[in-house]
Amino acid sequence: MSTLTAQRTTAAPAASGRAPKRRSPKRRLRGEAKLHPVVWVFVIAVMGFSLIPFYWLVNTSLKKGVSLSKGELFPSQPTFENYLVVFQNPEFLLALRNSVIIAVVTTTVALVFASFAAYALARLKMRRKALILTLILSVTTFPAIAIAAPMFSIWREIGLYDTLLGLIIPKLTFALPLAIYTLTSFFREIPRELEESAYMDGATPFTAFRKVILPLAVPGLATTAILVFISVWNEFLLAVTLTTSPEARPVPVAIAFFSGTSEFDQPLGTISAASVIITVPLVILVLVCQKRIVSGMTAGAVKG
């Protein structure tokens, strides 16, 4: 009897067709992802602290005349006149064009050369790879002021002073090591079996790199491109040292040379408006590519 009762008890759930309820992975993940309210307060505080300078920049750009000297949290008489003045300034438009050319060319050249160098450091067998990467990373921390004065003298001698090419080359000095170091850590996480399969199909190393590795490295390339583009776009020291005319000045330097309508007029409003104009494209770029940035930055964090 006891055996028969146990069999009936065991078979009861199966006969009824009701399986025990289990939490789905999504629900389980949501339950585990809940943060303590104190953490949310801390996150909101950090976000607010980070956004206050940008809000104050926008606030100042909407003021004119006497309102600029008032510390109002909200402008009493907001106006877009500063933005109109900036866009009507031919030197600002020329500087904006120069910045786009310098940033795009520098980023493209850095990605092309860095992809080959990073692939070699990540895949090929060579001695002292750790030392090479350490030297590459040390270049990114090198102060730009250390090469500004020598480069000023050399550029004047060879005719590259106050030219776009004369700005692209020194910016590559810092952009290329950053791109190499970022891409090397990403290439290391791509499985070697994919290349070996391509070799078995008759592909050359360059073909395997171009048709197998590069498509898989798109998140890392996008992350590196954005980081390099932002660093080149915001660079000021080399740009102000190696230029002297509006024909070659990028935007950060052109903003520094803004002047008021009169001798005693402070161009605080126009400077703020121009700063907002050159910042918004970077913010939009990061927001649009945030998924690729996150996937590229965390690609080497988990091994599987």
pLDDT at 24 over 80: no
Higher pLDDT, 295 or 234: 234
Higher pLDDT, 244 or 142: 244
Cα dihedral 181, 174, 222, 216 sign: negative
**If pLDDT is split at 50, 70 and 90, which confidence band does 13 have?**
very low
pTM: 0.78
Q: Is 64 helix (H, G, I), strand (E, B) or coil?
A: coil
The CATH code for residues 90-297 is 1.10.3720.10
In sequence order, the 6+-apart residues with CB closer than 8 A to the CB of 97 are none
Contact 182, 227 (CB under 8 A): yes
Would you state the structure tokens that stand for residue 247, as one six-digit string?
Answer: 């024909």
Contact 296, 220 (CB under 8 A): yes
Residue carrying the six token digits 């002292």: 128
Q: What is the pLDDT of residues 103-141, one digit of tens each?
A: 999 999 999 999 999 988 888 777 888 888 888 888 878
**If pLDDT is split at 50, 70 and 90, which confidence band does 298 have?**
low
In sequence order, the 6+-apart residues with CB closer than 8 A to the CB of 241 are 148, 149, 151, 152
Q: Would you kindly state where each structural domain of the chain is located, as residue ranges?
A: 35-79, 90-297
The pLDDT of residue 2 is 45
Q: How far apart are CA 272 and CA 301, in angstroms?
A: 39
Nearest to 58 by CA among 261, 251, 271: 271
Sequence length of the chain is 304
Cα dihedral 100, 103, 106, 107 sign: negative
Angle at 59 between CA 58 and CA 64, to 5 degrees: 110
Q: What is the pLDDT of residues 145-163, one digit of tens each?
A: 888 889 999 999 999 999 9
